[in-house]
Structure 1
Amino acid sequence: MQNRPDPRFHGSERAPLRGGRPRSPALPLRAHLRRFVDLRYRSVSRGSLLVLFSTIAAFRLSHFPNNHGTPWLLVPLVCAIAGTADTTRCMQKRWNWYHGGVVLCLYTDLMAIGMITFFLLYPLWL
């Protein structure tokens, strides 16, 4: 048999012909961390983690089973809204599975914002 190149790949970039993009070289860990912290890059995990940590902080600040009202609950509420806005930036124009996952994360973020708002306003009703 003759030594022929694989017809699915072209050139030296080793990208499939069927709509694939060329693979970028692996980034070092410091570059990944820098991209995670940099607000110019979109990141679903950064927004979701911000909402998660603000929800945990709201549980701790409200003393959950007893529900003490405190104005400090506004800080986790603002952080959760900022995390939701950061997750919203990852939406795409056309629907695909990634877009569906972002929508699921947005619904989870809205539920967390509702819970933090409840912790903030419930002691006022008592």
Structure 2
Amino acid sequence: MLRRFAIFHLSRKSLVRGTVITLGSLWASLWLSGYPDIRPSMWLILPLLLTCLATWDHARCLQKRWSFYHGGVLLLIYVDLMVMLTIAFLLVLSFSGLLQQ
């Protein structure tokens, strides 16, 4: 049954798979960090690595010539980078001790 869906074939390019992984990683990182009461958690490395994987998946979809599709893929890559920075910020902030009062 699952073999019919193209999203599960890792050898095929998929923008949907990368987007779902990115949004899922953002949700998981906010849940793991206990946002808004941020607590230290080394498990935040896993969503960070998954977002890197999603960025690679999006980068595979780039075309050689510029088009609006190419521009949309670039926007998705920028979104991936913003999510990566958010997760890295939560990871560094939780271990920096700046939140201790």
Does TM, scored on the shorter chain, surpass 0.5? yes
What is the match of residue 96 of structure 2?
125
Is 2:22 the counterpart of 1:66?
no
Q: Distance in 1 between matches of 2:3 and 2:44?
A: 33
Is 2:63 the counterpart of 1:92?
yes
What is the match of residue 76 of structure 1?
47
Which structure has greater helix proportion? Answer: 2
Identity %: 39
Q: Greater relative contact order (Cα 8 A, min sep 6): structure 1 or 2? A: 2
Write the deviation string for residues 25-55 of structure 1: whole angstroms up to 9, x where unpaired: xxxx963x1x111011100110111010011
Q: How many residues align?
A: 96
Pick the structure with greater CA Rg. 1
Structure 2 gap ranges (5+): none
Moved over 3 A (4+): none
Residue pairs, 1:10-49, within 5 angstroms: 31=4, 33=5, 35-49=6-20
What is the match of residue 87 of structure 2?
116
Q: Distance in 1 between matches of 2:51 and 2:26?
A: 7
* Structure 1 length-normalised TM: 0.73
Deviating more after overlay: 94-103 vs 116-125: 116-125
Letter in 1 for 2:46: V
**RMSD in angstroms over aligned alpha carbons?**
1.3
Q: Distance in 1 between matches of 2:23 and 2:55?
A: 11
Structure 1 gap ranges (5+): 1-28
Q: Distance in 2 between matches of 1:30 and 1:72?
A: 30
* Structure 2 length-normalised TM: 0.90
